[in-house]
Structure 1
Amino acid sequence: MRCSKRIVLLALSILLLSGCVTRTLKTESEINYQEDILLKAKNYNGLITMYRSWLKENDTPESRLKLSRYYYLAGDYKSSLYYLQSLNMSKDMRVSILQAQNMIALGDYGPAIRVTDRMLQQMPNNAEAYNLRGVALALSGKLEEGKRSIERSRELFIADDVAINNLAMIEMIDGRYQGAVGLLLPQYLRGKKQTQILHNLVLSLVKVGDRRYARNIVESENLSRDPDALIAAMSSISPRGKGAS
Protein backbone atom coordinates (compact mmCIF):
# COMPACT_ATOMS: atom_id res chain seq x y z
CA MET A 1 0.00 0.00 0.00
CA ARG A 2 2.83 2.39 0.90
CA CYS A 3 4.55 1.51 -2.37
CA SER A 4 1.44 2.34 -4.41
CA LYS A 5 1.09 5.69 -2.61
CA ARG A 6 4.71 6.51 -3.43
CA ILE A 7 4.09 5.71 -7.10
CA VAL A 8 1.05 8.00 -7.15
CA LEU A 9 2.97 10.81 -5.46
CA LEU A 10 5.86 10.39 -7.89
CA ALA A 11 3.49 10.52 -10.85
CA LEU A 12 1.88 13.68 -9.48
CA SER A 13 5.25 15.35 -8.94
CA ILE A 14 6.25 14.56 -12.52
CA LEU A 15 3.02 16.13 -13.75
CA LEU A 16 3.63 19.22 -11.65
CA LEU A 17 7.18 19.63 -12.88
CA SER A 18 6.42 19.05 -16.53
CA GLY A 19 3.40 21.34 -16.57
CA CYS A 20 0.32 21.19 -18.69
CA VAL A 21 0.57 20.29 -22.35
CA THR A 22 -1.22 22.85 -24.50
CA ARG A 23 -2.09 22.68 -28.17
CA THR A 24 0.64 24.24 -30.31
CA LEU A 25 -0.48 26.97 -32.67
CA LYS A 26 0.56 25.87 -36.16
CA THR A 27 -0.34 28.67 -38.57
CA GLU A 28 0.28 32.40 -38.75
CA SER A 29 -3.44 33.05 -38.90
CA GLU A 30 -3.88 31.20 -35.59
CA ILE A 31 -1.01 33.21 -34.08
CA ASN A 32 -2.44 36.51 -35.33
CA TYR A 33 -5.93 35.70 -34.03
CA GLN A 34 -4.63 34.72 -30.58
CA GLU A 35 -2.29 37.72 -30.53
CA ASP A 36 -5.20 40.13 -31.10
CA ILE A 37 -7.11 38.61 -28.19
CA LEU A 38 -4.13 38.75 -25.82
CA LEU A 39 -3.21 42.30 -26.87
CA LYS A 40 -6.71 43.58 -26.13
CA ALA A 41 -6.39 42.09 -22.65
CA LYS A 42 -2.80 43.44 -22.31
CA ASN A 43 -1.79 39.89 -21.40
CA TYR A 44 1.90 40.28 -22.16
CA ASN A 45 2.90 37.14 -20.28
CA GLY A 46 0.49 35.16 -22.45
CA LEU A 47 1.99 36.74 -25.56
CA ILE A 48 5.49 35.86 -24.37
CA THR A 49 4.50 32.23 -23.80
CA MET A 50 2.83 32.05 -27.20
CA TYR A 51 5.78 33.50 -29.12
CA ARG A 52 8.37 31.43 -27.26
CA SER A 53 6.47 28.33 -28.35
CA TRP A 54 6.12 29.62 -31.91
CA LEU A 55 9.82 30.50 -32.19
CA LYS A 56 10.89 26.93 -31.46
CA GLU A 57 9.75 26.02 -34.97
CA ASN A 58 9.53 29.44 -36.66
CA ASP A 59 12.49 31.57 -35.59
CA THR A 60 12.15 34.57 -37.89
CA PRO A 61 13.40 38.12 -37.27
CA GLU A 62 9.82 39.41 -37.18
CA SER A 63 8.69 36.86 -34.58
CA ARG A 64 11.81 37.42 -32.48
CA LEU A 65 11.22 41.17 -32.57
CA LYS A 66 7.65 40.65 -31.38
CA LEU A 67 8.83 38.41 -28.51
CA SER A 68 11.34 41.08 -27.48
CA ARG A 69 8.66 43.77 -27.66
CA TYR A 70 6.35 41.80 -25.37
CA TYR A 71 9.16 41.21 -22.86
CA TYR A 72 9.68 44.99 -22.85
CA LEU A 73 5.99 45.68 -22.32
CA ALA A 74 5.97 43.12 -19.49
CA GLY A 75 8.83 45.01 -17.81
CA ASP A 76 11.49 42.32 -18.36
CA TYR A 77 14.02 44.57 -20.08
CA LYS A 78 17.03 42.25 -19.80
CA SER A 79 15.16 39.38 -21.46
CA SER A 80 14.02 41.76 -24.18
CA LEU A 81 17.63 42.72 -24.91
CA TYR A 82 18.70 39.08 -24.77
CA TYR A 83 16.30 38.05 -27.52
CA LEU A 84 17.31 41.05 -29.61
CA GLN A 85 20.96 39.98 -29.70
CA SER A 86 20.73 37.99 -32.93
CA LEU A 87 19.11 41.02 -34.60
CA ASN A 88 21.86 43.47 -33.58
CA MET A 89 23.34 43.67 -37.08
CA SER A 90 19.94 44.37 -38.61
CA LYS A 91 19.32 47.81 -40.11
CA ASP A 92 15.70 47.60 -38.98
CA MET A 93 15.05 50.79 -37.02
CA ARG A 94 12.51 48.95 -34.85
CA VAL A 95 15.33 46.86 -33.40
CA SER A 96 17.38 49.93 -32.48
CA ILE A 97 14.36 51.71 -31.02
CA LEU A 98 13.56 48.73 -28.79
CA GLN A 99 17.21 48.45 -27.73
CA ALA A 100 17.27 52.10 -26.70
CA GLN A 101 13.95 51.81 -24.86
CA ASN A 102 15.23 48.84 -22.86
CA MET A 103 18.51 50.56 -22.04
CA ILE A 104 16.69 53.68 -20.83
CA ALA A 105 14.37 51.56 -18.68
CA LEU A 106 17.45 49.86 -17.16
CA GLY A 107 19.17 53.20 -16.51
CA ASP A 108 21.90 52.50 -19.08
CA TYR A 109 21.72 55.99 -20.55
CA GLY A 110 25.19 56.09 -22.16
CA PRO A 111 24.60 52.95 -24.27
CA ALA A 112 21.12 54.21 -25.16
CA ILE A 113 22.57 57.50 -26.43
CA ARG A 114 25.12 55.59 -28.54
CA VAL A 115 22.32 53.50 -30.08
CA THR A 116 20.34 56.63 -30.96
CA ASP A 117 23.46 58.28 -32.41
CA ARG A 118 23.89 55.28 -34.72
CA MET A 119 20.23 55.56 -35.70
CA LEU A 120 20.71 59.21 -36.62
CA GLN A 121 23.79 58.38 -38.71
CA GLN A 122 21.59 55.98 -40.67
CA MET A 123 18.50 58.24 -40.74
CA PRO A 124 19.37 61.86 -39.83
CA ASN A 125 15.71 62.92 -39.60
CA ASN A 126 14.39 60.07 -37.49
CA ALA A 127 11.98 61.62 -34.98
CA GLU A 128 11.93 58.63 -32.62
CA ALA A 129 15.73 58.56 -32.44
CA TYR A 130 15.77 62.23 -31.40
CA ASN A 131 13.02 61.58 -28.85
CA LEU A 132 14.79 58.64 -27.21
CA ARG A 133 18.12 60.45 -27.34
CA GLY A 134 16.53 63.39 -25.55
CA VAL A 135 15.03 61.19 -22.85
CA ALA A 136 18.36 59.42 -22.25
CA LEU A 137 20.26 62.71 -22.15
CA ALA A 138 17.78 64.29 -19.72
CA LEU A 139 17.79 61.31 -17.39
CA SER A 140 21.60 61.31 -17.40
CA GLY A 141 21.54 64.91 -16.17
CA LYS A 142 22.00 66.77 -19.47
CA LEU A 143 18.67 68.55 -19.30
CA GLU A 144 19.14 71.32 -21.85
CA GLU A 145 20.69 69.00 -24.43
CA GLY A 146 17.89 66.52 -23.82
CA LYS A 147 15.28 69.25 -24.24
CA ARG A 148 16.78 70.35 -27.57
CA SER A 149 16.73 66.78 -28.83
CA ILE A 150 13.07 66.26 -27.89
CA GLU A 151 12.13 69.59 -29.44
CA ARG A 152 13.87 68.44 -32.62
CA SER A 153 11.78 65.26 -32.57
CA ARG A 154 8.68 67.44 -32.35
CA GLU A 155 9.82 69.47 -35.36
CA LEU A 156 10.07 66.15 -37.20
CA PHE A 157 6.44 65.42 -36.28
CA ILE A 158 6.68 62.84 -33.55
CA ALA A 159 3.29 62.58 -31.83
CA ASP A 160 2.65 65.82 -29.92
CA ASP A 161 1.56 64.05 -26.74
CA VAL A 162 4.81 62.04 -26.67
CA ALA A 163 7.02 65.12 -27.08
CA ILE A 164 5.02 67.23 -24.63
CA ASN A 165 5.02 64.52 -21.97
CA ASN A 166 8.78 64.16 -22.27
CA LEU A 167 9.34 67.91 -22.17
CA ALA A 168 7.19 67.97 -19.03
CA MET A 169 9.34 65.19 -17.59
CA ILE A 170 12.39 67.44 -18.00
CA GLU A 171 10.59 70.26 -16.19
CA MET A 172 9.78 67.85 -13.36
CA ILE A 173 13.35 66.56 -13.09
CA ASP A 174 14.49 70.17 -12.76
CA GLY A 175 11.87 70.87 -10.09
CA ARG A 176 9.82 73.19 -12.34
CA TYR A 177 6.46 71.57 -11.63
CA GLN A 178 4.42 74.60 -12.65
CA GLY A 179 6.02 74.40 -16.07
CA ALA A 180 5.07 70.73 -16.27
CA VAL A 181 1.45 71.57 -15.38
CA GLY A 182 1.45 74.21 -18.10
CA LEU A 183 2.48 71.60 -20.66
CA LEU A 184 0.34 68.70 -19.51
CA LEU A 185 -2.93 70.32 -18.46
CA PRO A 186 -3.87 71.52 -21.98
CA GLN A 187 -3.21 67.97 -23.23
CA TYR A 188 -5.49 66.54 -20.57
CA LEU A 189 -8.24 69.06 -21.33
CA ARG A 190 -8.00 68.07 -25.00
CA GLY A 191 -8.73 64.46 -24.06
CA LYS A 192 -5.17 63.09 -23.98
CA LYS A 193 -5.39 60.66 -21.10
CA GLN A 194 -2.51 58.21 -21.49
CA THR A 195 -1.35 56.77 -18.20
CA GLN A 196 2.00 58.59 -18.22
CA ILE A 197 0.39 61.96 -18.93
CA LEU A 198 -2.16 61.46 -16.15
CA HIS A 199 0.43 60.38 -13.57
CA ASN A 200 2.83 63.19 -14.45
CA LEU A 201 0.03 65.76 -14.35
CA VAL A 202 -1.30 64.58 -10.99
CA LEU A 203 2.21 64.50 -9.52
CA SER A 204 2.95 68.00 -10.79
CA LEU A 205 -0.34 69.34 -9.41
CA VAL A 206 0.46 67.81 -6.02
CA LYS A 207 3.93 69.37 -6.07
CA VAL A 208 2.57 72.85 -6.81
CA GLY A 209 0.05 72.48 -4.00
CA ASP A 210 -3.14 71.99 -6.02
CA ARG A 211 -4.21 68.80 -4.26
CA ARG A 212 -7.90 69.45 -4.85
CA TYR A 213 -7.56 69.39 -8.63
CA ALA A 214 -5.17 66.44 -8.40
CA ARG A 215 -7.74 64.52 -6.36
CA ASN A 216 -10.48 65.36 -8.87
CA ILE A 217 -8.40 63.88 -11.70
CA VAL A 218 -7.53 60.76 -9.68
CA GLU A 219 -11.22 60.20 -8.96
CA SER A 220 -12.58 61.01 -12.42
CA GLU A 221 -9.96 58.86 -14.18
CA ASN A 222 -10.15 56.00 -11.65
CA LEU A 223 -6.42 56.12 -10.97
CA SER A 224 -6.76 54.77 -7.43
CA ARG A 225 -9.31 53.34 -5.03
CA ASP A 226 -7.78 55.55 -2.35
CA PRO A 227 -7.08 59.00 -3.87
CA ASP A 228 -5.90 60.51 -0.60
CA ALA A 229 -3.31 57.76 -0.08
CA LEU A 230 -2.05 58.14 -3.66
CA ILE A 231 -1.73 61.90 -3.32
CA ALA A 232 0.05 61.57 0.03
CA ALA A 233 2.50 59.13 -1.53
CA MET A 234 3.10 61.40 -4.51
CA SER A 235 3.86 64.35 -2.29
CA SER A 236 6.95 62.59 -0.98
CA ILE A 237 8.45 61.11 -4.16
CA SER A 238 10.88 62.38 -6.75
CA PRO A 239 9.99 61.95 -10.41
CA ARG A 240 13.56 61.47 -11.63
CA GLY A 241 13.66 58.61 -14.09
CA LYS A 242 9.90 58.15 -14.18
CA GLY A 243 7.21 58.89 -16.71
CA ALA A 244 9.12 59.20 -20.00
CA SER A 245 7.66 57.99 -23.29
Structure 2
Amino acid sequence: MRCSKKIVLLAFCSVVLAGCANRPAKTEAEVNYQEDILLKAKNYNGLITMYRSWLKNNDTADSRIKLSRYYYLAGDYKSSLYYLQPLNMKNDVRVSILQAQNMIALGDYGPAIRVTDKMLQQDGNNAEAWNLRGVALALSGKAAEGQQAIDKSRQLFIADDVAINNLAMIAMLDYRYQDAVGLLLPQYLRGKKQSQILHNLVLSLVKVGDRRYAKNIIESENLSNKPDELIDALAAISPRAKGGHK
Protein backbone atom coordinates (compact mmCIF):
# COMPACT_ATOMS: atom_id res chain seq x y z
CA MET A 1 0.00 0.00 0.00
CA ARG A 2 -0.34 -0.34 0.05
CA CYS A 3 -3.57 0.14 1.46
CA SER A 4 -8.90 -1.49 7.11
CA LYS A 5 -12.11 -2.26 8.46
CA LYS A 6 -14.19 -5.14 9.49
CA ILE A 7 -11.61 -7.38 11.04
CA VAL A 8 -9.97 -6.65 14.32
CA LEU A 9 -6.31 -7.20 14.14
CA LEU A 10 -5.05 -5.83 17.40
CA ALA A 11 -3.59 -2.37 17.04
CA PHE A 12 -0.09 -3.12 18.26
CA CYS A 13 1.47 0.03 19.61
CA SER A 14 4.36 1.37 17.58
CA VAL A 15 6.72 4.07 18.77
CA VAL A 16 7.16 6.87 16.27
CA LEU A 17 10.17 9.04 16.90
CA ALA A 18 9.06 12.56 17.72
CA GLY A 19 10.43 15.78 16.37
CA CYS A 20 11.32 17.09 12.94
CA ALA A 21 14.23 18.50 11.06
CA ASN A 22 16.18 21.19 12.86
CA ARG A 23 15.39 23.82 10.26
CA PRO A 24 13.08 24.04 7.24
CA ALA A 25 14.55 22.62 4.05
CA LYS A 26 15.29 25.33 1.49
CA THR A 27 16.24 23.26 -1.54
CA GLU A 28 14.96 20.08 -3.12
CA ALA A 29 18.24 18.38 -2.27
CA GLU A 30 17.77 19.26 1.40
CA VAL A 31 14.20 17.95 1.28
CA ASN A 32 15.37 14.65 -0.19
CA TYR A 33 18.15 14.34 2.38
CA GLN A 34 15.87 15.08 5.35
CA GLU A 35 13.13 12.85 3.92
CA ASP A 36 15.54 9.91 3.69
CA ILE A 37 16.54 10.30 7.35
CA LEU A 38 12.97 10.70 8.59
CA LEU A 39 11.75 7.75 6.52
CA LYS A 40 14.39 5.47 7.98
CA ALA A 41 13.11 6.45 11.43
CA LYS A 42 9.46 6.12 10.28
CA ASN A 43 8.99 9.62 11.65
CA TYR A 44 5.82 10.45 9.76
CA ASN A 45 5.04 13.46 11.95
CA GLY A 46 8.42 14.92 11.05
CA LEU A 47 7.78 14.24 7.36
CA ILE A 48 4.38 15.94 7.58
CA THR A 49 5.91 19.00 9.23
CA MET A 50 8.66 19.17 6.62
CA TYR A 51 6.34 18.89 3.62
CA ARG A 52 3.80 21.34 5.03
CA SER A 53 6.60 23.87 5.30
CA TRP A 54 7.92 23.01 1.84
CA LEU A 55 4.48 23.30 0.21
CA LYS A 56 4.08 26.91 1.30
CA ASN A 57 6.42 27.94 -1.49
CA ASN A 58 6.60 24.77 -3.60
CA ASP A 59 3.04 23.55 -4.10
CA THR A 60 3.53 20.85 -6.72
CA ALA A 61 1.49 17.71 -7.35
CA ASP A 62 4.43 15.51 -6.35
CA SER A 63 4.96 17.29 -3.04
CA ARG A 64 1.25 17.36 -2.24
CA ILE A 65 0.94 13.63 -2.94
CA LYS A 66 3.89 12.96 -0.64
CA LEU A 67 2.31 15.04 2.13
CA SER A 68 -0.97 13.17 1.70
CA ARG A 69 0.88 9.84 1.74
CA TYR A 70 2.58 10.68 5.04
CA TYR A 71 -0.73 11.75 6.59
CA TYR A 72 -2.11 8.35 5.52
CA LEU A 73 0.85 6.49 7.02
CA ALA A 74 0.42 8.51 10.23
CA GLY A 75 -3.22 7.39 10.42
CA ASP A 76 -4.76 10.82 9.74
CA TYR A 77 -6.93 9.74 6.83
CA LYS A 78 -9.19 12.79 6.68
CA SER A 79 -6.21 15.15 6.47
CA SER A 80 -4.73 12.95 3.77
CA LEU A 81 -7.90 13.31 1.70
CA TYR A 82 -8.06 17.03 2.43
CA TYR A 83 -4.64 17.74 0.98
CA LEU A 84 -5.48 15.65 -2.10
CA GLN A 85 -8.53 17.77 -2.95
CA PRO A 86 -6.75 20.23 -5.29
CA LEU A 87 -5.56 17.22 -7.32
CA ASN A 88 -8.95 15.50 -7.60
CA MET A 89 -9.46 16.57 -11.22
CA LYS A 90 -6.03 15.37 -12.29
CA ASN A 91 -5.84 12.04 -14.07
CA ASP A 92 -3.11 10.77 -11.73
CA VAL A 93 -3.23 7.15 -10.60
CA ARG A 94 -1.26 8.04 -7.46
CA VAL A 95 -4.08 10.33 -6.34
CA SER A 96 -6.71 7.65 -6.96
CA ILE A 97 -4.73 5.02 -5.04
CA LEU A 98 -4.39 7.30 -2.02
CA GLN A 99 -8.07 8.22 -2.18
CA ALA A 100 -9.08 4.55 -2.18
CA GLN A 101 -6.66 3.70 0.63
CA ASN A 102 -7.99 6.49 2.83
CA MET A 103 -11.62 5.66 2.07
CA ILE A 104 -11.05 2.02 3.01
CA ALA A 105 -9.31 3.08 6.22
CA LEU A 106 -12.31 5.28 7.06
CA GLY A 107 -14.78 2.49 6.29
CA ASP A 108 -16.16 4.25 3.20
CA TYR A 109 -16.14 1.11 1.08
CA GLY A 110 -18.68 2.20 -1.55
CA PRO A 111 -16.76 5.34 -2.53
CA ALA A 112 -13.50 3.34 -2.50
CA ILE A 113 -14.98 0.79 -4.92
CA ARG A 114 -16.14 3.61 -7.21
CA VAL A 115 -12.63 5.08 -7.24
CA THR A 116 -11.10 1.71 -8.13
CA ASP A 117 -13.73 1.12 -10.82
CA LYS A 118 -12.74 4.44 -12.40
CA MET A 119 -9.08 3.40 -12.27
CA LEU A 120 -9.90 0.11 -13.96
CA GLN A 121 -11.86 1.86 -16.69
CA GLN A 122 -8.66 3.70 -17.53
CA ASP A 123 -6.42 0.64 -17.14
CA GLY A 124 -7.97 -2.77 -16.71
CA ASN A 125 -4.58 -4.25 -15.82
CA ASN A 126 -3.87 -1.99 -12.86
CA ALA A 127 -2.85 -4.49 -10.19
CA GLU A 128 -3.15 -2.02 -7.31
CA ALA A 129 -6.67 -1.03 -8.37
CA TRP A 130 -7.73 -4.70 -8.35
CA ASN A 131 -6.09 -5.18 -4.95
CA LEU A 132 -7.81 -2.18 -3.37
CA ARG A 133 -11.11 -3.07 -4.99
CA GLY A 134 -10.81 -6.56 -3.53
CA VAL A 135 -10.14 -5.24 -0.04
CA ALA A 136 -13.07 -2.81 -0.20
CA LEU A 137 -15.42 -5.52 -1.51
CA ALA A 138 -14.36 -8.01 1.15
CA LEU A 139 -14.71 -5.54 3.98
CA SER A 140 -18.14 -4.48 2.71
CA GLY A 141 -19.33 -8.07 3.07
CA LYS A 142 -18.65 -9.39 -0.46
CA ALA A 143 -15.88 -11.82 0.41
CA ALA A 144 -16.10 -13.96 -2.72
CA GLU A 145 -15.95 -10.96 -5.06
CA GLY A 146 -13.14 -9.51 -2.97
CA GLN A 147 -11.10 -12.69 -3.25
CA GLN A 148 -11.60 -12.78 -7.02
CA ALA A 149 -10.35 -9.20 -7.33
CA ILE A 150 -7.28 -9.86 -5.19
CA ASP A 151 -6.57 -13.04 -7.16
CA LYS A 152 -6.70 -10.87 -10.29
CA SER A 153 -4.20 -8.43 -8.78
CA ARG A 154 -1.90 -11.35 -8.06
CA GLN A 155 -2.15 -12.52 -11.67
CA LEU A 156 -1.04 -9.02 -12.61
CA PHE A 157 2.03 -9.45 -10.39
CA ILE A 158 1.23 -7.28 -7.42
CA ALA A 159 3.72 -8.04 -4.64
CA ASP A 160 3.03 -11.55 -3.30
CA ASP A 161 3.15 -10.46 0.33
CA VAL A 162 0.47 -7.81 -0.34
CA ALA A 163 -1.89 -10.23 -2.09
CA ILE A 164 -1.32 -13.05 0.39
CA ASN A 165 -1.90 -10.82 3.42
CA ASN A 166 -5.15 -9.56 1.93
CA LEU A 167 -6.30 -13.08 1.03
CA ALA A 168 -5.54 -14.07 4.62
CA MET A 169 -7.60 -11.12 5.82
CA ILE A 170 -10.56 -12.42 3.81
CA ALA A 171 -10.10 -15.88 5.31
CA MET A 172 -10.13 -14.33 8.77
CA LEU A 173 -13.33 -12.45 7.97
CA ASP A 174 -14.86 -15.86 7.24
CA TYR A 175 -13.40 -17.32 10.46
CA ARG A 176 -11.13 -19.54 8.37
CA TYR A 177 -8.13 -19.02 10.61
CA GLN A 178 -6.40 -22.25 9.59
CA ASP A 179 -6.48 -21.08 5.98
CA ALA A 180 -5.02 -17.76 7.08
CA VAL A 181 -2.19 -19.54 8.88
CA GLY A 182 -1.58 -21.62 5.77
CA LEU A 183 -1.19 -18.44 3.73
CA LEU A 184 0.86 -16.40 6.18
CA LEU A 185 3.16 -18.92 7.84
CA PRO A 186 5.14 -19.73 4.66
CA GLN A 187 5.64 -16.00 4.14
CA TYR A 188 6.94 -15.60 7.68
CA LEU A 189 9.28 -18.57 7.33
CA ARG A 190 10.67 -16.98 4.14
CA GLY A 191 11.58 -13.89 6.12
CA LYS A 192 8.57 -11.72 5.30
CA LYS A 193 8.02 -9.89 8.56
CA GLN A 194 5.96 -6.81 7.72
CA SER A 195 3.79 -5.73 10.62
CA GLN A 196 0.50 -6.70 8.98
CA ILE A 197 1.74 -10.21 8.25
CA LEU A 198 3.04 -10.66 11.80
CA HIS A 199 -0.12 -9.34 13.43
CA ASN A 200 -2.47 -11.39 11.25
CA LEU A 201 -0.37 -14.54 11.69
CA VAL A 202 -0.21 -14.22 15.47
CA LEU A 203 -3.96 -13.63 15.73
CA SER A 204 -4.70 -16.58 13.44
CA LEU A 205 -2.39 -18.89 15.41
CA VAL A 206 -4.14 -17.90 18.63
CA LYS A 207 -7.54 -18.53 17.07
CA VAL A 208 -6.56 -22.04 15.92
CA GLY A 209 -5.26 -22.80 19.41
CA ASP A 210 -1.52 -22.74 18.73
CA ARG A 211 -0.68 -20.37 21.57
CA ARG A 212 2.85 -21.74 21.93
CA TYR A 213 3.86 -20.84 18.38
CA ALA A 214 2.09 -17.49 18.67
CA LYS A 215 4.07 -16.77 21.84
CA ASN A 216 7.34 -17.75 20.13
CA ILE A 217 6.68 -15.24 17.34
CA ILE A 218 5.64 -12.50 19.75
CA GLU A 219 8.85 -12.97 21.72
CA SER A 220 11.21 -13.43 18.78
CA GLU A 221 9.79 -10.41 16.92
CA ASN A 222 9.53 -8.25 20.06
CA LEU A 223 5.83 -7.60 19.55
CA SER A 224 5.12 -7.33 23.29
CA ASN A 225 6.95 -7.67 26.59
CA LYS A 226 3.85 -9.37 28.00
CA PRO A 227 3.14 -12.12 25.47
CA ASP A 228 0.71 -14.09 27.63
CA GLU A 229 -1.45 -11.03 28.24
CA LEU A 230 -1.39 -10.21 24.55
CA ILE A 231 -2.43 -13.74 23.63
CA ASP A 232 -5.32 -13.60 26.10
CA ALA A 233 -6.46 -10.33 24.55
CA LEU A 234 -6.20 -11.74 21.03
CA ALA A 235 -8.17 -14.82 22.01
CA ALA A 236 -11.07 -12.58 23.04
CA ILE A 237 -11.11 -10.56 19.82
CA SER A 238 -14.09 -10.75 17.51
CA PRO A 239 -13.09 -10.58 13.84
CA ARG A 240 -15.62 -7.89 12.96
CA ALA A 241 -14.13 -4.50 13.51
CA LYS A 242 -10.87 -2.96 12.48
CA GLY A 243 -8.57 -4.39 9.86
CA GLY A 244 -5.07 -4.99 8.62
CA HIS A 245 -5.05 -4.90 4.85
CA LYS A 246 -2.31 -3.47 2.69
TM-score above 0.5: yes
Contact persistence 2:68–2:79 (CA under 8 A): yes
* 2:175–2:239 CA contact under 8 A, matched in 1: no
Q: Classify the secondary structure of the residue corresponding to 1:147.
A: helix
Aligned residues: 224
* Number of the residue aligned with 1:9: none
Q: How does 1:59-70 map to 2 (within 5 A)?
A: 59-70=59-70
**When the two structures are superposed, what TM-score results if normalisation uses the length of structure 1?**
0.90
- The residue correspondences of 1:116-127 to structure 2 (distance < 5 A) are 116-127=116-127
Deviations 1:105-150 (A, max 9, x none): 0000000000000000011100000000000000000000000000
- CA shift for structure 1 position 242: 1.0
Offset, 1:238: 2.4
- In structure 2, the residue matched to 1:194 is 194
Higher Cα Rg: structure 1 or 2?
Answer: 1
2:233 aligned partner? 233
Q: Distance in 2 between matches of 1:218 and 1:23?
A: 39
Amino acid at match of 1:213: Y
Question: How far 1:89 moved relative to its partner?
Answer: 1.1
Matched letter for residue 140 of structure 1: S
Moved over 2 A (4+): 238-241
Provide the secondary structure at the position in 1 that maps to 2:192: coil
Higher RCO, Cα 8 Å, sep 6+ = 2
Alignment partner of 1:219: what SS? helix
- 1:120-199 equivalences under 5 Å are 120-199=120-199
The letter of the residue matching 1:169 is M
Q: Name stretches of at least 5 consecutive residues in structure 1 with no aligned partner.
A: 1-21
Structure 2, unmatched stretches of 5+, are: 1-21
Partner residue in 2 for 1:100: 100
Structure 1 residue 24 displacement after superposition: 3.1
Q: CA deviation at 1:104?
A: 0.3
Amino acid in the other structure paired with 1:174: D
Cα offset, 1:43, TM superposition = 0.6
Percent identity over the alignment is: 81
Aligned-partner residue type, residue 171 of structure 1: A
Higher helix share: 1
Alignment match, 1:74:
74
Deviations 1:175-224 (A, max 9, x none): 11011011111111111111100110000000010101100110111111
Q: Residue 219 of structure 2 contacts residue 227 of structure 2 at CA under 8 Å; is this kept in 1? A: yes
User: Which residue matches 1:27?
Assistant: 27
Amino acid at match of 1:242: G
Aligned-partner SS, 1:225: coil
Partner of 1:244: 245
Residue deviations 1:76-102 (CA, integer Å, cap 9, x gap): 000000000011111111110000000
Supply the distance in 2 between the matched residues of 1:118 and 1:98 (Cα, whole angstroms): 14
Q: TM-score, normalised by structure 2?
A: 0.89
